[in-house]
Each structure stands twice: as C-alpha cells, then as structure tokens.
Amino acid sequence: MKIRIIAMLGVMCCVFSGVNAQSGTFNPVKPECFPVATQFSPVPAGEGWKGEEGPIAEEVLRSTIDNILAHGFTGLEVPTGRPAEEEALLLKYAESKGMFVTYNAGALEGFERTAPPEICVYSPKYLETVRARAESALAPLKAIPNLYNAFTFQDEPFHWGAPSFGYNDEVKAEFKKRYGYDLPPDLDSIRGNPHTWLDVLNFRSAYFPDGWRQVYRMVKDISPNFKVTLTHDSHNTFGGGCTSHSELAIDDVFHWGGDFSDIFMFDIYPYMMFDFRFGRPAELPKPRISQAHYTFAQMRALTQANGKALGFWVGTYNPAWFAPFLCPELAATHWSEREMSMTAVAEGADYLLTGYKIPVDARHWESFGDGLRLLQKAGGRILAAPKMKARACMLFPRTQYLQLQQEYFNVGLSFELFLRAFGELDIIHEDEVTDDTLGGRELLVLFDVDLLPESVAGHIAKFVANGGTVIADCAPHLNAWKEHTTTLEDVFGVTGMNGDRISRAGHWVPYKAQAPIWANRPENPPDETVRNTDTLKGEALGQTLDLKLVSPRPCTAMTGKVLLKTESGQPGIVRHDWGHGHAFLLGFCLQDTYFQTFEDDNASSRTQLCGLLRAIAEETGVRPHVRSSNPDIEASLRVNDREGFLFVISHEAKDPGATVQLRDLPFKPAKVTNLKDDQAVAFAESDGGITLNVSVPLGEVLLFNVRPTGGPE
C-alpha cells in the first residue's frame, strides 16, 4: 500500500498496511508515515477532551483523536486507561483514521532490579512459568487492529548491586559450566582477583539476556505479528551505573546484545528533569545536549550492529512524570519536545512515543505539533534512510568500566566536544573491535581510557599502522587484568601517563516544586574544588592556544614529537607517526578542561578546543560527511543512495547562523528542498560537496531533503 497523507478538516490521516485483527490473522503494520505514538490524554488546545471528570462522549473522543492526528501523531498506546466501551470506540475510530497501536503488555520475564527472580532463568520451570503469564497478557492483542509493537519486558532493566544476584543451585551449575570453577560466594572475596572478578560480573550481567532470549522466542511463538519492544534506561547501562542506582559497573546495552527484541527504546530527558551527570556537571549541565548525544550513539551502535529499530521516549511537559520539575522556566522552553523528538530522529530513531502523555501547556503542544508535522513531510521515507556512518568513532571500554569500577558517563562531555569540532561521531564498543578496520572508520578517539584488553589494543595499533588516525587524552597502559602493557604507549610514543581526572559523585536533582537534592551521593563526597591545573599556550597545528588545563596528565615523550609543552614543561600535544597512520595525544583530561570553560564562562577557550581537535583531523586528511560551523547548532544526516534528510537543530544557540557542509554522500547532491515550505534552497559546491547557509533561532528545527538528479519527488 502506498503512502497517503490526506489533509481533511485540518486532520492528518496516515494509512497503514496490515490485516484487520478481527479476521483472526494479522501482520505487523508497516507505517507509511513516520511512527509517532502517544497516550490518550487531555489536549490543552483545540477541539477534544480537556480532562473533565466522568464519561467522555463519542464525539469528544473523536475530536480528541482528530486533534492528536492534526499534531503529527500516527499511533495510540493501549491500554488507554479509559472504560472498555470508550476504549473500543477509540480503537475503532483510530483504525478508521489509519492509526497504528502500541500495546503495553507489562514485564513478562519476571525480573527485578534489587533481588533475584523467584524462578531462575536456568531452571527448566522458567519458561513454563513465563509462558503461562505471557499467554494471558498477550491474549488481548489478537483483537487489536493495526497493532505495530508491544512492550513485553521490564522497563529500564539493570542490576541494582549485589542483592540482585542469586546463589541457587541452577546459577552455580551454570557458572561452573561456563567458567570451569565454582561460583565465588560473594564479591568481596574476589575484588583482588581481576580474572575472577571479570568472569563473575560478566556472568551476572548475562543473566538478563539469557532470560530475554528465551522469552523473545516464546513471545514470537505465541504472537509473532508485532514488534517486540524493550526500553533501555538513561544511564545505568551506558557507563553511568557505578556509584549510581546500579551501584556497580556491570551492565551495558551493547554487551547484552540485540537478538531478543525488534525495537530498542531509549529514554533521556535533558530538558524535563536531569540527565544523571555526576558531581558539579550535574549542577551545571552544559552543554545541555551532551549526554543525549553520547548515549544515543551507544544505542545506535547496538541497533545498527544487530539490524534492529531504534525508538525514543519523548519527555513531555506533563505532571504525569515531571510534576516536581514543572516551573515557569521549563514552561518557557516550549520547543523542548520538538527539539528532542527531532534530535532523536536525527540521531537514528525510527519510532517515537511520548513519555508521558500530551503536554499540558498549549505552547508546548503547538510547538511539538509543528515539529511532528514537519517530520511527517518526509514520513516513512526517513525509515529507509539510516543515519550515515561517521568517519570517526569513540571507543566504549567495557572491560575498564568493570575492572576499575569508575563511572564512564561524564565523558559524554568529551564526546560532545569532538562531535561539535568534527561534525559527526559514532560509538564503537570494545566488543566490536575484532579486526584492524574498526568497521571502516578512519579516525578513533580514546577519551579517559586507561585499560584495554590486549587484543583490542593490538587491533587499534594495527589500525593506526595501516593508515588510521587515533586521538586520545590518555595513553592506555593496562591490560584486562590490570597489568602494565606498552602496546598503545608505543603507538603514541610516550610512557608514564595515566588517566587521572576529578573524582565526582552524586546526581543533582533540580526539583522546582520542592527543594532540590543530591541523589546517590556518598556521605563524604570528593572535594571537586581540589584539582591540578596547568596552562597550554602557544602555536600548534596552525592554532593559537591559551588554555587553562584541568587535570593535566604528564608523561615522558619517547619517540613521540612534542608539538607544544605546557607551562610546567610537560608534553601538552604529542604527535607520533606510526606505520602509515598517525597518533595524537593530549596531555590533559579533555572532559575536565572542557567543563571548566563553562564554569568560567569562557567561550574563547571552548572555541580553541574545538579548533584544536578539528585541526588534528584536518592534518591527517579525515573529513566528515556533515558539519555545522556553529557548535550550538547540530547538523545530522540520514541518507541512502537515492536521497538524504538533513536535520539542522538549534541547541541553546545565541547566534542563529551556521554554514552546513555536506561531503562524500552516496550521490552528488543536485537539489536541496526545505521541507517546511517545500522551497528549493540555494547551495554552493565546494571541496567535493556542498555548503548551505542557514538561520536557526533557539529551539527551532529545519529539515531538508537532499536529492541527486532524478531523485524521488
């Protein structure tokens, strides 16, 4: 069935393919529009239900759905929370309008965060018990028309420390089967044994996917015709669990795998509440979008490696979740839902769901609608255009995370800085480094990486020797067992550097309706005002630098060439040509130094840091596919061999102007169209690509269609 977007009385109707569930045979619908779902809830403006108590008349139910459709939504979440008669009317009318349905079946696998499940996943009784629960929970789905996906797993799973571990006979037997020795009785007894420590934490983390794989196969056997959906959390599984809610560094989404769900949802709300940074950066969360970009890149690595869809929960201005945070300042950022939903799609999301409910503020609702209507101008064609693989990637060091038990989340600041400097950046997980190509990338960045398995370090060394570039702010010098290794010290041509940085703890929770608090903060938190500093001043790589360095990292240059020394005489920038490639080492912690520029309100230093990183990439000839000249304005590209979609999004930009450069696309751009008004946009050809000048005020979003000659109309 072809796409039909029908404007009728101001209502957008999207037609979805699929067989009506009432016939007894139904298939997962394939949206011809972009799939965006919401919960049935009051609308703050226009026709429809305004939240009055009591039954809702049929005409009001219909007008509410019309209002939702008119704002660019194409799906409805079920159960709706309304009486059965009203829900039946809602579903019938939604079906007539071509809307799809998202169903929340609840957690079927029986997992908990703080305690082991009652029945072990390694027990023969596990599937028997779960199947009975699943058959009951999934039975209503057979009556739902246009069913698209269903949530069947625990929301935001992670292990909440040692109490979540079981020690029953099945667990002990499975551990011995995998590792050849008895499961230790507790964690404290093995903290001094890196081999056993790593085995135990990997085994404990694997418990969840070991169960999910069984449940996924069972769900597909019971109801094969919808997309199984699992939600991953904001921080615990992305390097932010240690000393946070999970207490241990143990879980991460990529290591868990992706063969137990069809859609992996993600949630983070950098405007609606807080984003789980540690210490002072939690109190001063600048740049506001950094942790979202960093964690989205991890989710993108997961879903692309496993061929799965990526979804996103869009936080909305609604007290259902965010009551303690609502305030006039947040109300004024009426663009926040639009900004985050479009950022999510720009970063690779293929499905959106409001979390939670429709905004209660009319300006938020209308701004959200503006963004979704713009998105629907491209519609389902975006689903066939994945986010373009970046030429640069940043490594996520899982083994370090487990062995050193240090958060690896504030490093999102370093991710954001390089993204802004270079223009594009992916995450490559340590588990993906299985050969010398790094997935076809040309540049690798290592930030705050002290420890890597020897096999991973060896592949990186060969990647550089074969012509790749690596940029780091620390020379990894430990192997998986925390023993000294020189593999990457040789690549950088230095010795004696470690990854010291400011120790930060606790999450600042900026409540507005009540007093703000520190969460997950130890009784004696580290004093973040105690820090080492130095100065980097002079000329290097065509850049004039005058930088206050925070957490300098001294080292001894051996074969590496020192391009610029710090004021204390330590190597500040080191270059080492290794084989056919190049290694650049910064003699300071990038995240601490970058954050200090926000503490000092020093825009000049931020510009210098951006310029330095960009100059290093340009020195080695690595060029991004897309880059915005304004670091506060994101430019992101989704593309196939027939067309591309360029998202330009303002994130706290004071200057609305930017020049966006596109290079080395799968086709030669011949036409650029602004989808807001369907007008052609002027561009200039330069340096193997095109450039276009844009103006994007704070909170605004632009979406362009880029096509070759003869591309789709």
Read off the pLDDT band of 14 (50, 70, 90).
Answer: low
Q: Are residues 203 and 239 in the same domain?
A: yes
Where is the domain boundary, 585, 619, 653? Answer: 619
Largest CA-CA distance found in the chain, in angstroms, rounded? 79
Q: Are residues 295 and 328 in the same domain?
A: yes
Is the same domain home to 269 and 401? no
Report the pLDDT value the prediction gives residue 13, as an integer from 0 to 100. Answer: 54
Assign 295 a pLDDT band (cuts: 50, 70, 90).
very high
The secondary structure of residue 588, as a DSSP letter, is B
Give the total number of structural domains in the chain. 3
The CA-CA-CA angle for residues 69, 72, 74, to 5°, reads 60
**Listed range (111-115, 196-200, 572-576) with the worst mean pLDDT:** 111-115
Q: What value does the mean pLDDT take over residues 429-449? A: 98
Rounded Cα–Cα distance for residues 644 and 628 (Å)? 16
3-state secondary structure 352-411: EEECCCCCCCHHHHHHHHHHHHHHHHHHHHHHHCCECCCCEEEEECHHHHHHHCCCCCCC
∠ Cα 463 469 475 (to 5°) = 85
pLDDT score at 2: 27
> Are the C-beta atoms of residues 291 and 270 closer than 8 Å to each other?
yes
- Does a structural domain hold residue 44? yes
Domain check: are 571 and 643 in the same one?
A: no
- Of 341, 360, 384, the one marking the end of a domain is 384
Question: What sign has the CA pseudo-torsion 564, 570, 575, 576?
Answer: positive
Read off the CATH number of the domain in which 259 is found. Answer: 3.20.20.80
Answer whether residue 19 shows pLDDT above 90.
no
713 is a domain residue: no
For position 83, what pLDDT does the model report? 97
Q: What is the Cα–Cα distance from 345 to 325, expressed in whole angstroms?
A: 25
435 in any annotated domain: yes
β-strands 351-354, 392-396: how paired? unpaired
User: Distance between CA 638 and CA 387 in Å, rounded?
Assistant: 4
Find the mean pLDDT for residues 483-509. Answer: 97
What is the rounded distance in angstroms from the CA atom of residue 193 to the CA atom of residue 214?
32
Locate all alpha helices (DSSP H) within 558-674, ordered by sequence: 590-599, 603-619
Q: Is 133 found in the same domain as 12?
A: yes
Helix axes 290-306, 412-422, angle to 10 degrees: 80
Q: Judge residue 11's burial from the number of C-beta atoms within 10 Å of its C-beta, 0-12 exposed, 13-18 middle, 19 or more buried.
A: middle
What's the rounded Cα separation, in Å, for the pair 488 and 700?
A: 43
Sequence-distant (6+) residues with CB within 8 A of 127 are 214, 215, 218
Is the four-CA dihedral 164, 170, 176, 177 of positive or negative sign? negative
Domain termination site, one of 570, 600, 619:
619
Q: Report the distance separating Cα 552 and Cα 532, nearest Å.
A: 7
Residue 425 lies in a domain: yes
Same domain, 362 and 507: no
Q: In this structure, are 35 and 172 located in the same domain? A: yes
Q: How far is CA 188 from CA 171, 200, 315, 451, 479, in A?
A: 19, 12, 39, 22, 22
Kindly state whether residues 415 and 456 are assigned to the same domain.
Answer: yes
Give domain status of residue 313, yes or no. Answer: yes
Give the CA angle between residues 39, 41, 42 to the nearest 5°. 155
- Give the whole-angstrom CA distance, residue 293 versus residue 610: 17
Residue 31 has pLDDT above 80, yes or no: no
Q: What is the pLDDT of residues 303-356, one digit of tens each?
A: 999 999 999 999 999 999 899 999 999 999 999 999 999 999 999 999 999 999
- Residue-wise pLDDT tens digits, 689-698: 999 999 999 9
Predicted structure pTM score: 0.96
Q: For position 699, what pLDDT does the model report?
A: 86
Six token digits for residue 520: 């997950």
Token pair of 71 as six digits: 């704002």
Confidence at 713, pLDDT banded by 50, 70, 90: low
Q: Is the pLDDT of residue 17 over 60?
A: no
> Burial, 619: exposed, middle or buried (Cβ in 10 Å; 0-12, 13-18, 19+)?
middle
186 and 230 together in one domain: yes
Q: Please check whether residue 154 lies inside any domain of the structure.
A: yes
Is 223 among the domain residues? yes
Residue 282 is given by DSSP the state: H
Query: What CATH number is given to the structural domain containing 399?
Result: 3.40.50.880
- CATH number, domain of 678, equals 2.60.40.1180
595, 652: one domain: no
The residue whose two tokens read 């897309």 is 626
Peptide bond just before 148 cis, omega within 30 deg: no
What pLDDT, on the 0 to 100 scale, is given for residue 22? 34
Nearest to 18, CA basis, from 151, 149, 145, 150: 145
Of 313, 314, 309, 315, which Cα lies nearest the Cα of 380? 309
**Residue 6 confidence (pLDDT):** 29
Average pLDDT over every residue of 571-590:
98
Look up the domain containing 458 and give its range. 392-619
**Separation between Cα atoms, residue 597 and residue 411, nearest integer Å:** 15
- pLDDT, mean of residues 358-368: 98
Provide the pLDDT for residue 259: 97
Query: 132-150 burial, b for 16+ CB within 10 Å, e for fewer?
Result: ebbeebbeebeebbbbbbb
Same domain, yes or no: 223 and 122: yes
368 and 482 co-located in one domain: no
Query: Can you tell me the distance from the alpha carbon of 126 to that of 176, in angstroms, rounded to the nearest whole number?
Result: 20
CA atoms of 34 and 372, how far apart (whole Å): 9
Classify residue 712: in a domain, yes or no. no
